[in-house]
């Protein structure tokens, strides 16, 4: 294992210390770990909080700042943060307007954010949890019940963060976040595995001439392992998994102010004429130059399917340590979503 680390047990702490030194506009807490805006809590503003295991940087801590997140909770590498982290972070950013927890659909994240929501609600804080479950590759995997939460998370943090900055209340922020999730679909491809520092060896084995289609951001298995293909072939495969995905219905849990309620949601498939944001993401070890080759073919596939790319995002935003590979996210957008996508943001990992 070759890593830029000292002691394995101090990996996250030392990375957070470096982040704090590099970005004085952030406040980093170490016991428990969380990152918040320097100006938090912002008077009258709904606080947007997310989090998850470390190893996916710049998500989530790199998206803390004006126009995106108010706070983020980093767990150990590929390990969910704990309820006390989420509780303390929420208390640090709540101005009285409420807190929206944006939760990727992984069992530990869902369970811990629900526990944190109950804790802050018991203290009179208005709170809501909205799930992100956009990965079309796998339902019910190693880490999840239902679809995994991946690339749409980044787009939701930008769009909903801008809405909160513009004055949306908690209910409107929650409704917008739910809509973004339902309008977004993602698919990932791995060319190599990755190594968690504490494990010291690759998460899975992948031959030199093999790729894993439908990979998860923790190295979870996909839907098919196949011989290495050209970038055009892999891109077309991934894009068609997203665009041709049928309607998807599931039950989620949301907080009604006193208890959890089940809510049935159905994501409608993409249709000819849809306007989308196209997000081509590096899994960590793939250079941006190769992502442009992916985007070139993605644009061609979308045009052939009658899908209109009106905005794009290309780069490493939701990574899996040093894994080589890419993911594609397509997000159907309306005028409301585009307005907030185009709004200013100032964070370490995303600037507009």
How do residues 19-53 score in pLDDT, each as one tens digit? 999 999 999 999 999 999 999 999 999 999 999 99
What average pLDDT does the segment 101-110 reach? 97
pTM: 0.97
Report the C-alpha gap between 69 and 5 in whole angstroms.
27
Other Cβ atoms closer than 10 A to 26: 22
Q: Are residues 238 and 151 in the same domain?
A: no
Does any domain span residue 349? no
Residues 316-327 have pLDDT tens digits of: 999 999 999 999
Task: Look at residue 257 and tell me whether its pLDDT is greater than 90.
Answer: yes
Of the pLDDT bands very low, low, confident and very high (cuts 50, 70, 90), residue 219 is confident
Residue 138 has what pLDDT?
84
Does any domain span residue 338? no
What average pLDDT does the segment 10-17 reach? 98
Residues 132-160 have pLDDT tens digits of: 999 999 877 666 789 999 999 999 999 99
Which contiguous run of DSSP H or E holds residue 18?
A: helix 11-22
Can you give the CATH number for the domain in which 111 is found?
3.40.50.10440
What average pLDDT does the segment 158-181 reach? 98
Q: Are residues 54 and 138 in the same domain?
A: yes
Of the pLDDT bands very low, low, confident and very high (cuts 50, 70, 90), residue 312 is very high
Task: Look at residue 178 and tell me whether its pLDDT is greater than 70.
Answer: yes
Q: Are residues 47 and 169 in the same domain?
A: yes
Does any domain span residue 348? no
Angle at alpha carbon of residue 109, lines to 74 and 68, rounded to 5°: 55
Q: Are residues 86 and 135 in the same domain?
A: yes
Label each residue of 306-343 as H, E or C: CCEEEEEEEECCCCCCCCCEEEEEEEECCHHHHHHHCC
Give the side-chain half-sphere CA count within 13 A for 182: 19
Residues annotated as catalytic (active site), given as ranges = 56, 218
Q: Are residues 256 and 229 in the same domain?
A: no
Q: Are residues 28 and 172 in the same domain?
A: yes
Report the C-alpha gap between 175 and 94 in whole angstroms.
19
Mean per-residue pLDDT of the chain: 97
Last residue of a domain, one of 208, 230, 261: 261
Q: Are residues 168 and 195 in the same domain?
A: no
What average pLDDT does the segment 185-197 reach? 97
Residue with tokens 């009604």: 256
**Of all residues in the chain, what percent carry a pLDDT higher than 70?**
99
Print the domain residue range for 16. Answer: 11-182+251-261
Q: Are residues 169 and 208 in the same domain?
A: no
The DSSP bridge pattern shows strands 99-104 and 127-132 to be parallel
Q: Are residues 220 and 256 in the same domain?
A: no
User: What are the structure tokens assigned to 154, written together?
Assistant: 């980044």
Q: What phi, psi does 186 have (nearest 5°)?
A: -140, 160
Q: Are residues 142 and 211 in the same domain?
A: no
What average pLDDT does the segment 299-313 reach? 98
Does any domain span residue 4? no
What average pLDDT does the segment 165-191 reach? 98
Angle at alpha carbon of residue 45, lines to 44 and 49, rounded to 5°: 145
Of 40, 35, 98, which is closest to residue 71 (Cα–Cα)? 35
Does any domain span residue 337? no
Give the C-alpha distances (Å, rounded to integers) separating 213 from 136, 140, 203, 226, 227. Answer: 11, 16, 16, 8, 10
* Residues with Cβ within 8 Å of residue 42, at least 6 apart in sequence: 70, 93, 95
Is residue 139 within 8 Å of residue 129, measured between CB atoms? no
Does any domain span residue 340? no
Does any domain span residue 31? yes
State how far Cα 234 lies from the chain centre.
Answer: 22
Residues 89-98 have pLDDT tens digits of: 999 999 999 9
Q: What phi, psi does 238 have (nearest 5°)?
A: -65, -45
Q: What phi, psi does 8 have (nearest 5°)?
A: -55, -40
DSSP 8-state class, residue 228: -
Residue 139 has what pLDDT?
79
DSSP 8-state class, residue 195: B
Residue 264 has what pLDDT?
98
Can you give the CATH number for the domain in which 223 is found?
3.30.1180.20
What average pLDDT does the segment 295-303 reach? 98
Other Cβ atoms closer than 10 A to 176: 22
Q: Are residues 131 and 84 in the same domain?
A: yes
Residue 143 has what pLDDT?
67
Task: Look at residue 232 and tell me whether its pLDDT is greater than 90.
Answer: yes
Last residue of a domain, one of 261, 292, 307: 261
Report the C-alpha gap between 260 and 253 in whole angstroms.
6
N-term to C-term CA, the chain: 36
Is residue 69 within 8 Å of residue 46, measured between CB atoms? no
Does any domain span residue 124? yes
- Quote the number of domains for the chain: 2
| Collapsed DSSP state (helix, strand, coil) of residue 269 | coil
Q: Are residues 298 and 256 in the same domain?
A: no
Residue 140 has what pLDDT?
72
Report the C-alpha gap between 15 and 168 in whole angstroms.
33
């Amino acid at each position: 294992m070759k890593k830029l680390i000292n002691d394995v047990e101090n990996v996250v702490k030392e990375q957070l210390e470096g982040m704090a030194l590099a970005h004085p506009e952030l406040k980093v807490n170490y016991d428990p770990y969380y990152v918040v805006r320097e100006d938090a809590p912002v008077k009258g503003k709904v606080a947007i909080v997310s989090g998850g295991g470390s190893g996916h940087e710049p998500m989530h801590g790199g998206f803390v700042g004006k126009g995106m997140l108010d706070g983020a909770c980093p767990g150990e590498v590929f390990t969910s943060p704990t309820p006390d982290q989420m509780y303390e972070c929420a208390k640090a950013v709540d101005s009285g307007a409420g807190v929206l927890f944006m939760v990727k659909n992984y069992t530990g994240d869902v369970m811990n954010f629900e526990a944190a929501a109950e804790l802050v609600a018991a203290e009179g804080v208005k709170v809501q949890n909205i799930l992100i479950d956009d990965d079309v590759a796998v339902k019910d995997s190693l880490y999840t019940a239902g679809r995994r939460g991946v690339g749409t998370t980044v787009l939701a943090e930008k769009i909903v963060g801008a809405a909160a900055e513009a004055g949306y209340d908690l209910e409107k922020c929650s409704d917008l976040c739910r809509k973004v999730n339902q309008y977004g679909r993602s698919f990932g491809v791995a060319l190599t595995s990755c190594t968690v520092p504490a494990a010291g060896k690759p998460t899975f084995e992948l031959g030199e001439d093999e790729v894993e289609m439908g990979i998860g951001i923790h190295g979870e298995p996909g839907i098919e392992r196949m011989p290495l293909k050209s970038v055009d072939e892999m891109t077309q495969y991934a894009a068609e998994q997203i665009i041709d995905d049928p309607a998807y219905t599931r039950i989620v849990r949301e907080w009604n102010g006193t208890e959890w309620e089940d809510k049935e949601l159905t994501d409608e498939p993409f249709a000819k004429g849809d306007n989308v944001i196209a997000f081509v993401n590096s899994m960590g070890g793939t250079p941006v130059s190769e992502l442009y080759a992916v985007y070139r073919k993605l644009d061609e596939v979308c045009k052939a399917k009658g899908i209109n790319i009106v905005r794009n995002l290309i780069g490493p935003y939701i990574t899996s340590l040093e894994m080589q590979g890419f993911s594609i996210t397509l997000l159907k957008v309306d005028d409301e979503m585009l307005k907030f996508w185009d709004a200013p943001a100032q964070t370490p990992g995303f600037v507009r």
